[in-house]
Structure 1
Amino acid sequence: MKYLISVLIGAMSYGILSTIVVLAYGQGYKLGEVVGTQLLIGCILAWLLALYTKLRENRKQRHSAGTAVPSKPAATRLTWKHRVLLMMAGAPTVITGLLYYQSLRYIPASLAIILLFQFTWISVLIQAVSKRQRPDKITILTLILLFGGTLLAAGILNQGAAEFNLLGLMLGLLSAVSYSMFIIFSGKAVPSAHPAYRSAWMVTGGLLLLFILFPPYFLFNGLLWGQLLLFGFLLGLFGAFIPPLLFAIGVPHIGGGMAGIIGAVELPVAVLMSSFVLQEHVSLLQWTGVVLVLLGVVLPELYKLRWRNNQAVSSSSV
């Protein structure tokens, strides 16, 4: 249960980010300042965790060296090649954040998170094209649910597509494409390394890329020591530190399928926050769409779990 709660809290943390960003925009802060402060705080927290992890490992090694108890096999030792790979794998998170946060300037936060959630079918499409495999029936049903749910949740059916800013819609969809690429690449980047070190190097790579795209003038012009620091701390804590840490703790114990199901809670949390904190109107029809999108996310994972259980029962009965 504690591992389930760990993943649940991590996903809920992601869900509040859009609301914090909109509030920061309301105070006049710009995209580079908001994302830059978030990644800076997240990078500091990630390296503090990596340092703590290193100290714990050294303490355990000294303890095991003084006893007859063999220590556990060490995780992959990072070379500079590994570090560069991890920093490159962290780049799509920055692109995702920039696209997603910029879309919040043009469209409601409740719509932006729904567009970001299109990464589910975009990931399926990318893998189907790369592997040259047609999606199975459950995947096709999932895509139908996601598409129909998105139309309802976005309010397109009752307001019309013309009511929304086209640039905001494009930015939201591009953030979903970028997030899909992150999911694909991040899982392949030195997976045997310790999660704390992987997270620290990935955030570092993202921070370096961001500072190239948006020079960090806020570090020197005094903006950092105002409300920007508070917004950046909240975004760094709930976006770049807590979720990766809690996912690293919980996912290995509950499995990726169950983590995918629980992770879908990010969507209703984001819509609820935008409704209650930002006072954005979310109709009953839109909530119906949110439920359909959640079903589209959960359905394939439940199907996989059922299939694995049936396989396990069949194996035990043989």
Structure 2
Amino acid sequence: MNQFRYSLFILIGASSYGFQASIVKLMTNAGYEAAHAASSQYLFGLLLLFIPFILTKRVKVNGKQTLSLFGVGILLSLTGVFYAISIQELSASVAIVLLFQFTWIGVLIESIYLRTFPSHLKIISIILLWVGTPFAAGVSPEGLGLLNNTKGLVYGFLAALMFALYLFFSGKAGKGVPTIQRSFIIAISGLLTTFLFISPAFIVDGTITDGLWKYGWPIGLFGVFVPVVFFALGTPHVDSGIAAILGAAELPAAMIGAMLIVGEQLTLGQAAGIVLILIGIGVPQWRSRKNVDSKKFSSSC
């Protein structure tokens, strides 16, 4: 049951990222720039984390723990920065497909770390995710024509690599640090990293009070508070390859969010892609649940 609960935490975190995309869409439709979304994501996420940070248990953090958590925050922030550049160079659907290469990259990183070959169920899962992602993202022939854009491809794969590394190290960084405190440090690192690429002038030039706050707080909620906290709860207890596969829930959530929040229509091809992704996510979970049930049966005998 505990393993299922930790997997559920990761699913919630990944789905939260997906719903955040719809809020960003509403924000850009209102006339704000994508840079405002990236920077306000961490600013408001940090503000939302501040109250639970001061109200919950905190421990003294040593230099090694701080550096490791800052590293995780940098990886998460760079994922967003590289993904934004990829979208500028390619179509959004192709950029999404490139980002979702983090699934097999995450399994590969885990295999290298453990020096073992991925299980056949993980391989089946990755294949299903590979097939389902282009359909769910709604990749068009015109979008595929942009694949000769080297800059877009490079930044798309860099975004995938950064997110795979984030999932891998999220469960290993800051051991012994309470979840909210870990999340708060990660958010600080993400905000500072974002400001290296995006000017923080919007904080003082009136953009926030003029209306950005209406979009900033839900983007911070779904883009930092919920996913960072729930990944911090789940990833230490789930192997990183499974965590990468569970992270693929972000795309179905983004499609459903676009339909419910933005009012976009879901095509039959996208629906089929979502079903394939969900099956791909469920395959390794079915195996682990089966193993748990077998152990319970053996112990009862």
TM-score relative to the length of structure 2:
0.80
Q: State the match for 1:26 in structure 2.
A: 29
CA contact (8 A) 1:115 1:169 kept: yes
In the alignment, structure 1 residue 41 sits paired with structure 2 residue 44: yes
Q: State the match for 2:101 in structure 1.
A: 118
- Number of positions where the alignment pairs a residue of Structure 1 with one of Structure 2: 297
Instruction: Return closer, same or farther for 1:241/1:78 CA change in 2, 3 Å cut-off.
Output: same
Q: State the match for 1:235 in structure 2.
A: 219
C-alpha distance in 2, partners of 1:314/1:237?
Answer: 43
The equivalences for 1:168-207 within 5 A come to 171-207=155-191
The equivalences for 1:129-208 within 5 A come to 129-156=112-139, 161-162=144-145, 166=149, 171-208=155-192
Q: State the match for 1:211 in structure 2.
A: 195
Identity %: 36
C-alpha distance in 2, partners of 1:264/1:199?
Answer: 21
Q: 2:74 aligns with which of 91, 94, 117?
A: 91
Instruction: Return closer, same or farther for 1:133/1:247 CA change in 2, 3 Å cut-off.
Output: closer
TM-fit CA distance, 1:79: 2.0
Return the letter of the residue paired with 2:133.
Answer: T
**Offset from partner CA, 1:272-316 (integer Å, 9 cap, x none):** 222454455542122212211221122112212212322332344
C-alpha distance in 1, partners of 2:198/2:165?
Answer: 22
Gap regions ≥5 residues in structure 1 = 55-74
TM-score relative to the length of structure 1:
0.77
Q: Which has the higher helix share?
A: 2
**Offset from partner CA, 1:190-222 (integer Å, 9 cap, x none):** 222100110111111111112222231112322
Return the letter of the residue paired with 2:121.
Answer: I
| RMSD across aligned positions (CA) | 3.7
Instruction: Return closer, same or farther for 1:163/1:212 CA change in 2, 3 Å cut-off.
Output: closer
Return the letter of the residue paired with 1:89.
Answer: V
CA contact (8 A) 1:76 1:194 kept: yes
CA contact (8 A) 1:90 1:205 kept: yes
Instruction: Return closer, same or farther for 1:129/1:5 CA change in 2, 3 Å cut-off.
Output: closer
Return the letter of the residue paired with 1:85.
Answer: S
**Offset from partner CA, 1:235-266 (integer Å, 9 cap, x none):** 11222113344566688999999988986654
Q: State the match for 1:70 in structure 2.
A: none
The equivalences for 1:240-279 within 5 A come to 240-245=224-229, 265-278=249-262
CA contact (8 A) 1:111 1:153 kept: no
CA contact (8 A) 1:121 1:143 kept: yes
C-alpha distance in 2, partners of 1:293/1:8?
Answer: 13
C-alpha distance in 2, partners of 1:14/1:174?
Answer: 18
Return the letter of the residue paired with 2:175.
Answer: P
DSSP-derived class of the 1:135 partner: coil
Greater Rg, structure 1 or structure 2?
Answer: 1
